[in-house]
Amino acid sequence: MADCFGPHRAGRIGRTCLSLMLAGLACLPLAAACRRSPSAHEERPATAAEVAPAERSRSFRIVGYVTDKVGTIDNLRYDRLTHINYAFLIPNDDGSVRPLYARRKLSRLVSEAHQHDVKVLLSVGGWGYDAEFEKLAANPESRARLVSEIVRHVQEYDLDGADMDWEYPDPGESAGYFLLLMQELSAAMRAESKLLTAAVVAEGPHAAGIPSEVFDYVDFLNIMAYDGPGEHHSPYSYAEEALRYWAGRGLPADKRVLGVPFYAQPGGIPYRQLVAANETAPWCDGVRYRSATVYHNSIPTLQRKVRLALREGSGIMIWALPYDTADATSLLAAIYDAVHGHAAGPPGGDQPPCATPAASGAS
C-alpha cells in the first residue's frame, strides 16, 4: 500500500529476535551445553495469532470526512485519525470545477493534520452531481480537464491525494466511463506519489456501476454502509453484508474500509444533537428525539463494527467528524479505543435502558 503509517513494527517481535540472536552468540563456545529445551522463563517467539491483532491495529485506517460548510476543525482529534477527506471539490459537466469553499479552512486543516502525520485527501463530487459526472466522464477532453484540475488542487494545497465520490455511476456504459476516469486519475496521482480512493455504496444495483477493474487503481475504497433500507439505516448486519458483498466482488481486505455514520435517521440528525437531547444516545441505537424515534450507531455498535473491520477489512470511514461530541461520549474516541483493544461502557458500568427494543438487539 502507498499509505503506510504508524510506529515501526518492532515491539515484541523485535525484542524476541534480539534475545534469540544474543542467545545464539552465547551458545557458540558451548554448543553442546546449549542444546536443550527452553525453560519456562525464557522468552519465546510470538505466534502468528498473537502478532496479527497488533499488526492489524497498527495499519488500521481511521478515515474521517470534514465538510467545507459544516462545523469547525477547532476540536479535531488528529491523534485518533490516519486520514481526513475534505469535502467537496465540485465538478462541472465540462470537467472544470467550482471554486473551493472555505479555502483557509482547508489550508489550516492540512497544516495541522501534517503536524500529526495525518494524511488529507480532497473529495471530489458528493451527492447530487451525477449528471455532471455522466457528461464529463463520457468525453475524453472533459475527463482530462477534471484530472488536471484535481492534480492542481492537490499540489496547491499540499494534499496527500484525491477521493472520488461520484454518486453513482450506473451499470453499463456509465460504469465504463467511471473506469476510464479512475484509470486516468490513478495515473496522474501515482505520478505525483499521491493516494487515490473512492466512496462506494454498500451493495445493491448501484454497486454494479463500480467495475472490479477499478480495484487495481485505488489504494482503498470507502464503503458507505449507511442510509440503507429499513428503520435502522446502518445496523451491524448491514456492515456485515457490505463487507461480504465487496469481498465477493474480489476487493482485497486491505482495500476495504467500512463506512459508519455519526448521525441518525430519519432526519440526518448529528450525533452531538442526539446526546444533548437524550442521555441514552451514546449507548442505545434507537432513541427518542423531538417526539420521534431515530436510529444511529451507538458506542457499543461502533465498537462491534471496528472489530468486524479488523477481521474483514482495513479501516473505518466516518461521515462526518463535525457531528461528534468532544467529551467522554465521543464516537471517534470509542472507535480509536476499539482499534487498540479497549471497550467503552456507560459511567458506573450499568447499561441504561434503551428507548426501543431495536435499540440494542439489532446491532
Report the percent of the chain where pLDDT is more than 70: 81
Report the percent of the chain where pLDDT is more than 90: 77
Lowest mean pLDDT among 148-157, 254-263, 342-351: 342-351
Q: Where are the beta strands (DSSP E) in the chain?
A: 61-67, 83-89, 119-126, 161-166, 195-201, 220-224, 256-261, 263-264, 269-270, 286-289, 292-295, 315-319
Of 281, 213, 210, 269, nearest to 242 (Cα)? 210
Question: Which of the pair, 13 or 119, is modelled with greater confidence?
Answer: 119
Lowest mean pLDDT among 47-56, 75-84, 254-263: 47-56
Q: What is the pTM of this model?
A: 0.83
User: Domain limits of the chain?
Assistant: 61-361
Q: Write out pLDDT tens, residues 196-254.
A: 999 999 999 999 999 999 999 999 999 999 999 988 999 999 999 999 999 999 999 99
Q: Write out pLDDT tens, residues 305-319.
A: 999 999 999 999 999
Confidence check: pLDDT of 8 > 60 = no
pLDDT of residue 348: 64
Name the one residue in this structure whose C-alpha cell is 487503481.
Answer: 217
CATH of 61-361, one of 3.30.1330.10, 3.40.720.10, 3.20.20.80, 3.40.50.10420: 3.20.20.80
Confidence check: pLDDT of 351 > 80 = no
